[in-house]
Structure 1
Amino acid sequence: MNKITSYQLFTITFIFQLGTTIIFGFGGTAGRDAWIGELISSALGVVIILVYTTLMGMNPGLSLVQWFPAQFGRWIGTPIAFVYPLVFLYFVGRIIADIRDMVSTTLLNNTPLILITGLFALIIAFCLYGGAQIIARLGELFLPIVIIIFSIEIILLFGSGVMHIKNIQPVMENGWGPIWNVVYPGGVTQSFGEAIVLAMFWPEVKTPSKVMKITVISTVLSGIMIACLDLFAISVFGGVFSRFLYPLYTLLSLISIGKFIENLQMFGVLYFLMTALLKSVIYMFGALKGIQQLTKMKSYRSLIIPSCLLSLILGMTMSKNITEHIYYHHFKILLPYVSVPLHLVLPAILLTVTWFRQFKK
C-alpha cells in the first residue's frame, strides 16, 4: 500500500490549519490586536500538537480512535473513541453550512442552496473513494495555488496603497483581556486543537519519526500566515476590522491598480473553497476510518454516501442564518462543550494515563 510522504503530510496539515480562518479572519473581537492573539494561539497550538504527537509515539502504529481502547480498556475506551468520528461528521456539516452562507451571500445569490451544498458534498464523496493517498495528493495540488494567490495578494495590496501602518496603532489599547478572549478557547482549538483528526493519517506516513517535526513546522507557518492576513486587514480597516464577517474577502475588493486590476474577490472565494474542501475531506476520512477501525469493518467505502448525506442534511438544517451559525452554535455551544473536552481535556487525561502505565511497566 502507498504511504503518505513527509511533504504530503506537510501540505494537508498546513492547509487544514488554515481552514476557513483564511476567509473569516481571526479574532475580530480583539480588534487591532487580533494578530497578536493569533501568534499566541499558534504558540500554544505547538504545545497541543506536541501532546498529540507524543501520544502517537507512545502508541506506535495506532490511530486516534485506537489510543483510547489501548489505554483505557475496551469497555471505557471504545465509547470515548466513538465520540470523535461522530463529532468529525458534525464538523463536516458545519463547513458545508459555511459554504452555504459564504457562496450564497457573495457570489451566487439566486442559486438554490441545495445545489451549492449538494455539489460540494458530492466532491467530498468522490475524493474519499481514493483513500488517504488521494487526499494527500489533493494537498500537494492545493498548496502551490494557495501560496501563489497569497503572494499575489500581498503584492497587489502594497501596490494599491490602501495599507497604512498607523491603523495598527495603538497596540494593546485595551490590554490583554480581549486578546486572551480570542486565544482561549477559540484560538487554540479552532485550527490547532482540531488537528487531532490528523492522527487518523499518521499511521499512514512513510516516516513516523518525522511526524512531530513536520506538524510543528506546519503549525508555526499557518499561524504566521493567518497573523499576516489579519495584519493586512487591520492596516486597511483599522478598528473597523472587527465589524466585517468576511474581512479577508472584503479586503480583496479594495485592490485597485490603475483601474485595471480590480474586483479580485474571486481569489478569496478560491482560497475558501480549496481549504474548506480539503478540511472537509480530512474530517470525513477521519470519521469513516475511525468507524471502520472501531467496528472492525473491512472497508469504509460503504459508509461514504450515507455519511456525506448526513453531513449535507446537518449543514442545511443546523442553523437558520450566519449569525446563529457562528455566534451562537460556535461560540456558545461548540467551543466550551465540544472542542475543549475533545481537543484539550481528553488528550491531557490520555497522556497522563499512558505515561503512568508505561512508567509502571
Structure 2
Amino acid sequence: MEKAKISGYQLFVLIFLFEMGSALLVPLAGEAKQAAWLVILIAMIGGFLLFFIYYGLFQYYPDKLLTEFIRLILGNFLGRIVAFLYILYFIYLSARVLRDFGDTLLTFAYPHIPLFVANAVFILVVVYTVRKGIEVLARTGELFFVLENLLLMTFMLLIIASGMIHLNNLKPIFEISGTEMLKMGFTKTVFFPFGEVIVFLMIFPYMKEPQRLKKIGMAGLATSGIFLSVIMAVNIAVLGVDLTTRSQYPLLSLIQSIEVAGFLERLDVYFLFLLMIGGFIKICVFTYVAVSGTANVFNVKQPSRLAYPVGMIILLISIIIASSYTEHIYEGLGAVPNYIHLPFQVIIPLLLLIIAFFKNRKKGKQSTKISS
C-alpha cells in the first residue's frame, strides 16, 4: 500500500464525483419513462445493500486492499487469479468511461479530432495525476467538488428562471407497475452507477477515520443518488419523456434549451465542464486502483512505474472496445450488466463475505479454546 491517508470528507467527495461521473451523460433508467427518477432512488437503495456487503468485507480486513484480502480468503493461488480478474475489470471499466467521454467530446465540441488523439490527451492527464498518489487525487477531488456543485446550482437556477419546467410531463408516475420499477432498479441501474462503488475497496484502507466509513459511504451514495434523480426528473419535466429517452445526451439537450431574458443562451460550456470533471475523477479512480492492484498482486515496489503502461492499455482498449458509439452503448446497456457487473459486484463479493465470515468465526473459536 501507498503510505498515504485521506480524510472522511475527501472520501465522500471522491464517491460523489465518481458516482455522478458518466451517469450524467446517459438517460439513466430511461426505460422507466416518467418514473425514471423514482427507479434511480430504488437503485440507490440497492446500492446501499451492495455497500453493506463491501463494508462487511472491509470490517474483516480493514488494513487490506481488495486484491490482498481476496488472497487471504481464497488462498494464494485462486486468490491471485480472482484478484487479477478484478484488475482487468477495473481496467475495462476505465476504458469504457474513457470511450464514453472521448466520443462525447468529439460529438459535442471537436468533431474533426481523431478519437485516439482525444483519448490519449485525456489519459495522459489522468496518468500524471495517478502517479502523484491518492492524496493528490483526493485534494483535486475537493476542488472539483466545489466547482461541480456551483455549476449544478447555477444550472438549476437558470432552468427555474427560464420557466421551462412543466410538471405535467412527469405524469403519470405509475404508468409502469411497482414490480417493473423494482426489477429495473435492482438490475441495470443498481449496477451502473451505484454498484461500481466496489472500486473503493481499494481505497477504504487509506481513510484516517475508518470508524466513520459506513456513514460516509452511505452519505456519498445517497447524495449522488438524489442528485441524479433530481436531474433526471428535470430532464423529463423540461424535455418530455420521448425527447429525454431518444436524446443521445439529454443533459446537453436540456442545457442547450435554456434561454433567460432573451440573451442568456447556448450555455454548452456548462455541459463541457460537467463532462470533464466527472470523466476525469472517475477515470482517475479506476486507473489508480488498477495500478495499485497490479503492484500489489505482482509485488512491484514502486507502483507509480506502472501508471504509464496501465494507461496505455486503457487507451488501446478504449479504441478497440467498439467500432462505433452506438455499439459501445448497446454493449454497455446489454451484455455488461449481466455478464460483467453481476459477478464482480454481487456474486463474488457475496461469496467472499460468506467465506470470510466462516473463516473468522473458526479463528474466534480457536482463540477461545487456546485462552481457556
TM-score bracket relative to the smaller structure: over 0.9
Structure-1 residue corresponding to 2:295: 292
**Deviation, structure 1 residue 102:** 0.4
Structure-1 residue corresponding to 2:325: 322
**Deviation, structure 1 residue 181:** 4.7
Equivalent-residue separation in structure 2 for 1:145 and 1:14 (angstroms): 13
Q: Does the 8 Å CA contact 1:30/1:242 hold for their aligned counterparts? A: no
Structure-1 residue corresponding to 2:284: 281
Structure-1 residue corresponding to 2:15: 13
Structure-2 residue corresponding to 1:253: 256
Q: Does the 8 Å CA contact 1:91/1:283 hold for their aligned counterparts? A: yes
**Deviation, structure 1 residue 140:** 0.5
Structure-2 residue corresponding to 1:46: 48
Deviations along 1:76-119, one digit per CA (max 9) or x if unpaired, are: 21111111111111111111211221011111112222221111
**Deviation, structure 1 residue 177:** 5.5
Indicate whether 1:74 and 2:79 are aligned.
no
Structure-2 residue corresponding to 1:310: 313
Equivalent-residue separation in structure 2 for 1:98 and 1:341 (angstroms): 23
1:92-131 correspondence runs (5 A):
92-131=94-133
For residue 310 of structure 1, what is the amino acid of its counterpart? Answer: I
**Deviation, structure 1 residue 360:** 2.4
Equivalent-residue separation in structure 1 for 2:298 and 2:89 (angstroms): 17
Equivalent-residue separation in structure 1 for 2:140 and 2:98 (angstroms): 19
For residue 191 of structure 2, what is the amino acid of its counterpart? Answer: T
Equivalent-residue separation in structure 1 for 2:249 and 2:122 (angstroms): 20
Deviations along 1:201-256, one digit per CA (max 9) or x if unpaired, are: 11111111111110111001100000000010010122212111211111001110
Q: Does the 8 Å CA contact 1:50/1:216 hold for their aligned counterparts? A: no
Equivalent-residue separation in structure 2 for 1:203 and 1:211 (angstroms): 10
For residue 262 of structure 2, what is the amino acid of its counterpart? Answer: K
Deviations along 1:39-83, one digit per CA (max 9) or x if unpaired, are: 000011111111111110111201111121111111221111111
Percent of aligned pairs sharing the same letter: 27
Aligned-partner SS, 1:19: helix
Equivalent-residue separation in structure 1 for 2:187 and 2:303 (angstroms): 33
1:175-194 correspondence runs (5 A):
175-176=177-178, 178-194=180-196
Runs ≥4 in structure 1, deviation > 4 angstroms?
none
Q: Which runs of 5+ in 2 are unaligned?
A: 364-372
Aligned-partner SS, 2:334: helix
Deviations along 1:239-290, one digit per CA (max 9) or x if unpaired, are: 2121112111110011100122101122112111111111101001111101
Indicate whether 1:157 and 2:159 are aligned.
yes
Equivalent-residue separation in structure 2 for 1:189 and 1:128 (angstroms): 25
Deviations along 1:115-162, one digit per CA (max 9) or x if unpaired, are: 211110110111011011111111111100111011001100011111
Structure-1 residue corresponding to 2:218: 216
Q: Does the 8 Å CA contact 1:167/1:234 hold for their aligned counterparts? A: yes
**Deviation, structure 1 residue 178:** 4.8
Question: Cα–Cα, structure 1 residues 326 and 181, in superposed 2: closer, same or farther, change >3 Å?
Answer: farther
Equivalent-residue separation in structure 1 for 2:70 and 2:94 (angstroms): 23
Equivalent-residue separation in structure 2 for 1:177 and 1:246 (angstroms): 28
For residue 104 of structure 2, what is the amino acid of its counterpart? Answer: M
1:166-177 correspondence runs (5 A):
166-176=168-178
Q: Which runs of 5+ in 1 are unaligned?
A: none
Q: Which moved more, 1:74-83 or 1:162-171?
A: 74-83
Indicate whether 1:263 and 2:266 are aligned.
yes
Aligned-partner SS, 2:265: coil
1:126-137 correspondence runs (5 A):
126-137=128-139
Structure-2 residue corresponding to 1:29: 31
Aligned-partner SS, 2:158: helix
Structure-2 residue corresponding to 1:235: 237
For residue 255 of structure 1, what is the amino acid of its counterpart? Answer: I
Question: Cα–Cα, structure 1 residues 81 and 345, in superposed 2: closer, same or farther, change >3 Å?
Answer: same
* Number of equivalent positions: 360
TM-score scaled by structure 2? 0.94
**Deviation, structure 1 residue 182:** 3.2
Equivalent-residue separation in structure 1 for 2:276 and 2:222 (angstroms): 23
Question: Cα–Cα, structure 1 residues 198 and 224, in superposed 2: closer, same or farther, change >3 Å?
Answer: same
Equivalent-residue separation in structure 2 for 1:168 and 1:238 (angstroms): 8
Equivalent in 353, 360, 369 of residue 351 of structure 1: 353
**Deviation, structure 1 residue 309:** 1.1
Q: Does the 8 Å CA contact 1:10/1:218 hold for their aligned counterparts? A: yes
For residue 32 of structure 1, what is the amino acid of its counterpart? Answer: Q
